[in-house]
């Protein structure tokens, strides 16, 4: 796997050489648009709205639409004027409690591999972060864009996770939130029982992308000559009527307990009776 960035962590007077690698991989099937009659690939053209003519790259500029149909044009030298200097360092600004940071701010993780000569300082920072329960808040320039980022202790290594700037996150007050003051103790108790009954240890291997797996199998079957292909599943509609929450919770609890009983292995007493 190719590294996406090389540089160093800047922590006061300490410099730790590191190399960034993507920590996630998302391999989706990509499809081309084709003409149905001969399966010829269909390409896109850059066409001007004013006259429908194709526009070569040499005549294309970037513009910001500040009013409908009115633009201000920015040239390449304009973008260079606001470029942030790429220092090749992850500049740690301060350390904060991980629990105090809104999870919505984190969005893209990278593995931080230690560079030559940085083993001791790298290990020291990792251990100190793990012991403190804190993360380093930093700024880093990757390519030409400045990012807010967090440095986290992750098992035996360090992670750099890109973050949204706080003003990018929409406030919850902008959305309709239900205001319900008449939740009874009985309802709350049943909801708690349902959560408890469906709780289990985190097992990442249980969660897979069913749609992508099915799509891969379908493509492989078509490549092999087709055969009987699966029918499209029927889409279920959500209930349109107001539900009886208590009744639904009671039914959900019954199903949850029944499912748990089916999945439970028989103990010595049950095995003796079966024998």
More confident position, 115 or 251: 115
Q: Express each pLDDT in 95-142 by its tens digit.
A: 999 999 999 999 999 999 999 999 999 999 999 999 999 999 999 988
* Domain map (residue ranges) of the chain: 5-25+83-168
Q: Express each pLDDT in 220-241 by its tens digit.
A: 888 888 777 777 777 766 655 6
pLDDT band at 143 (very low <50, low <70, confident <90, very high): confident
Closest of 226, 16, 234 to residue 136, by C-alpha: 16
Query: What is the DSSP track for 81-128?
Result: HHPPP--SEEEEEEEEEGGGS-GGGEEEEEEEEE-TT-HHHHHHHHHH
Which residues make Cβ contacts (< 8 Å) with residue 151, sequence separation at least 6? Answer: 9, 90, 92, 112, 125, 129, 135, 136, 138, 158, 159, 160
The domain defined by 5-25+83-168 folds into: Ku70; Chain: A; Domain 2 (2.40.290)
Residue ranges with strand state E in 119-227: 134-142, 145-154, 157-163
Closest of 197, 208, 180 to residue 250, by C-alpha: 197
Residue with token string 């748990």: 260
Taking the whole predicted model, whether its pTM rises above 0.95 is answered as no
Per the CB < 8 A criterion, the answer to whether 115 and 17 are in contact is yes
What is the predicted pLDDT for the residue at 269? 41
């Amino acid at each position: 796997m190719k590294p996406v960035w090389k540089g160093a962590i800047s922590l006061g007077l300490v410099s730790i050489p590191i190399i960034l690698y993507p920590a996630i991989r998302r391999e989706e099937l990509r499809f081309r648009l084709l003409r149905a009659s001969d399966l010829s690939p269909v390409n896109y053209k850059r066409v001007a709205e004013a006259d429908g003519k194709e526009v070569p790259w040499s005549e294309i500029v970037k513009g910001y639409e500040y009013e409908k149909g009115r633009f201000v044009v920015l040239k390449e030298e304009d973008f260079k004027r606001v470029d942030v200097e790429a220092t090749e360092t992850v500049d740690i600004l301060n350390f904060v409690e991980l629990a105090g940071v809104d999870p919505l701010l984190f969005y893209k993780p990278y593995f931080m591999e230690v560079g030559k000569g940085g083993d001791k300082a790298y290990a020291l920072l990792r251990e100190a972060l793990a012991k403190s329960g804190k993360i380093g808040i930093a700024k880093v320039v990757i390519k030409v864009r400045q990012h807010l980022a967090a440095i986290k202790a992750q098992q035996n290594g360090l992670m750099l996770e890109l973050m949204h700037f706080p003003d990018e996150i929409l406030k919850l007050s902008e959305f309709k939130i239900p205001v319900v003051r008449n939740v009874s103790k009985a309802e709350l108790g049943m909801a708690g029982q349902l959560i408890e009954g469906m709780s289990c240890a985190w097992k990442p291997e249980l969660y897979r992308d069913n749609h992508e797996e099915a799509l891969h199998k379908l493509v492989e079957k078509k490549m092999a000559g087709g055969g009987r292909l699966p029918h499209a599943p029927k889409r279920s509609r959500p209930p349109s009527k107001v539900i009886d929450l208590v009744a639904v919770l009671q039914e959900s609890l019954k199903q949850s307990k029944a499912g748990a009983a089916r999945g439970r292995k028989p103990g010595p007493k049950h095995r003796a009776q079966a024998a």
